[in-house]
Amino acid sequence: YCIGNHDLVKGKYGEEVFENVYGPVYYSFDFGNVHYIVTPMAGGDHQPGYTKEDVYRWLKNDLAQVPTGKPVIVFNHDLLTSGNEFVFGIDDNEKINLNEHNLKAWLYGHWHNHFVRKQGDVLTISTATLDKGGIDHSTSAFRVVDVDRKGDVQTMLRYTYINKSIETASIANDACAMTSDGKIPVSVNTYNAVAPAIRVTYSCVVDGNTVLPETQLTQNTDWNWSGMAKLPADCKGKRIFITAKALFNNGETAISRSSFVYQPEEIGKTPRLAWTRNVNANLYFSSPVVAGGKVYVASLDEDLKGEGAIFALDAKTGELQWRYPVRNSIKNTIAVDEGTVFAQDAEGYLYAIDSQTGRLKWDKKMDVAGLPVLVDGLTAANGIVYAGSGKAFGAYNGKTGDAVWLNKGWPQGEATTSTPLLANGVVISGANWRGFYGNDAQTGELLWKLDKDGITDRGATPACDGNLLYVTSRQSLFIIDCHSGEVIVRKELPFNVQVNSTPLVTDKLIVFGTQTDGLVALDRETFEVRWKAQTSPALVYTAPYSRHPAATVETSPLLIGDTIYFGASDGIIYGIDKESGQTTWKHKTGTPLFSTLSTNGSMIFATDFGGNVYAFKCNE
């Protein structure tokens, strides 16, 4: 147990209640070959009974008893430093350099985010809340940490609430994707919060006879396993029954059964799955970007295992064209402009990658704070990329990476999931718990700010219609003049809209995702609810402070013809009639969808959290 700022409560002294319930606020112990140290938060909601000098002198005495070279791991609610030198002291003469005591890792959680990185030789590990979504939309998860005899650390996030979930994601609507030679991709998403899957298999039955015996699939991510099936030619036109089975490391199993009609020719209802490809890493808010015959996505690296990357897939076949590795997670939107893919990672590095070859053109470390991590998306247009946050938010030259201008009008705040919007010469952006801002796109001058009345911790990117911005925040819909920042309309809503969902504005409707009520449509004139498309409870919770049974939609609706398509946190891609809100089509994936769907006119592209990229053929 490790005391944090909100654990310091009213009493004789701030930590009195904590001590009575949990025990001391600073202590140490040995386990195996490692010395573990727990130190308290320096301050918080109420004054603690201890001082920094108390903690320093205790720590100095403690380390004096530790044999030279023995590995040390520290727990504290916050991170001591964003640099590589872990020095704790009370003045220039009395200080301890923990690096000299073989400090291996520092575990903390104050910043409400999942963030692992190396600071020199020290692995620093931040974990968000395990039972609910984070203030920056971090996933509800706990962390397993393994320490070897040398004190070296490996870590793995485990997502809460999920009980032996399994779904064959490559089969839906009586159909399955097929390759040109008739092979069938078998993609299974499975997860169990208490025990990882260690073996996943599938088998196929036709007319009561087994045509493909139990076959083991290959693991791609913590959610996804896949392989290719080749059915006998005489199965053509017949119904295929497929059974997927997962074995977890605690001995439990999960089974899913589904079926489809084997049709090598492309017939049947649309949208129809054309292909699916796993990129071997989790995919978060980074929506697929379609350009030049390719689909670009970017991935998470929450355990610092080298999984953070930018990927280019062939839009027609899903074949991987190239992969460019980055330093840490890419948590939000990327952009393509003038033959360059732009992305920013959680550590604040900005990348420019050649869209055809996957080669690095340039990268740079933006002057963002070490914490909070960078969760924002970025935007690129006309040779300029708008990226960063706070004093590092600015317009960067797309060819060189040089700053055209840097923001001086607003500070960096808690991490936010929104993406800068370029609207009529104004760049709209914000900082969580700080405000909503409009900067001149040419000069960077701050034109306006909104920092009260329920819009300060907005997660969504606004939609622009004419000169008006449509954006949701907390429990309100706002309509704002993009040039002046004047709030034209604020409509209080009977549900929470703290999600990363840009409204869809049509001639009659305003449609957006919610934290608890699925997708909702308001009448554009009266702002009253026209319909709700209720989704199921989320598999993984991300919206701030959301818990089971919140039916969350973090994605933005996509309108194609008379149908609105969107992905939901329940693991389902929906097609909704725009007039009635009735579900007309769905595709179950078995893992949450946090990124917005994209289209090139003939195909719809989606990604799931398990690392799958999907391509669906649209209606002719």
For 145, the 3-state DSSP assignment is: strand
pLDDT per residue as tens digits for the range 557-586: 999 999 999 999 999 999 999 999 999 999
Predicted confidence at residue 265, as pLDDT, reads 67
Predicted confidence at residue 264, as pLDDT, reads 72
Q: Between residues 58 and 175, which one has the greater pLDDT? A: 58
Predicted confidence at residue 274, as pLDDT, reads 94
Enter the tokens of residue 43.
């301050």
Span 134-149, average pLDDT: 95
CA nearest neighbour of 503 among 481, 525, 479: 479
Predicted confidence at residue 417, as pLDDT, reads 94
Query: Helix H segments across 459-570?
Result: none
Predicted confidence at residue 169, as pLDDT, reads 97
Strand partners, 560: 563
Task: Give dist(CA 67, CA 544) in Å, integer.
Answer: 44
Task: Give dist(CA 43, CA 4) in Å, integer.
Answer: 8
Task: Give dist(CA 375, CA 364) in Å, integer.
Answer: 17
Residue 261 has pLDDT above 90, yes or no: yes
Do the beta carbons of residue 347 and residue 327 sit within 8 Å?
yes
Predicted confidence at residue 618, as pLDDT, reads 85
pLDDT per residue as tens digits for the range 336-387: 999 999 999 999 999 999 999 999 999 999 999 989 999 999 999 999 999 9
For 543, the 3-state DSSP assignment is: coil
Predicted confidence at residue 514, as pLDDT, reads 98
CA nearest neighbour of 550 among 522, 565, 569, 533: 569
Mean per-residue pLDDT of the chain: 96
Predicted confidence at residue 182, as pLDDT, reads 83
Predicted confidence at residue 619, as pLDDT, reads 66
Determine how β-strand 87-89 pairs with β-strand 115-119: unpaired
R_g of the chain computed on alpha carbons:
25
pLDDT per residue as tens digits for the range 215-257: 999 999 999 999 999 999 899 999 999 999 999 999 999 999 9
Span 72-78, average pLDDT: 98
* Percent of the residues in the chain that have a pLDDT greater than 70, as a whole number: 99
* Percent of the residues in the chain that have a pLDDT greater than 90, as a whole number: 94
DSSP letter for 19, please: H
pLDDT band at 267 (very low <50, low <70, confident <90, very high): low
Predicted confidence at residue 181, as pLDDT, reads 84
Q: Is the peptide bond preceding residue 420 cis, with omega within 30 degrees of 0?
A: no
Residue 490 has pLDDT above 70, yes or no: yes
Pseudo-torsion of CA 115, 118, 119, 121, nearest 10°? 150
Residue 620 has pLDDT above 60, yes or no: no
Task: Give dist(CA 188, CA 612) in Å, integer.
Answer: 10
Residue 268 has pLDDT above 70, yes or no: no
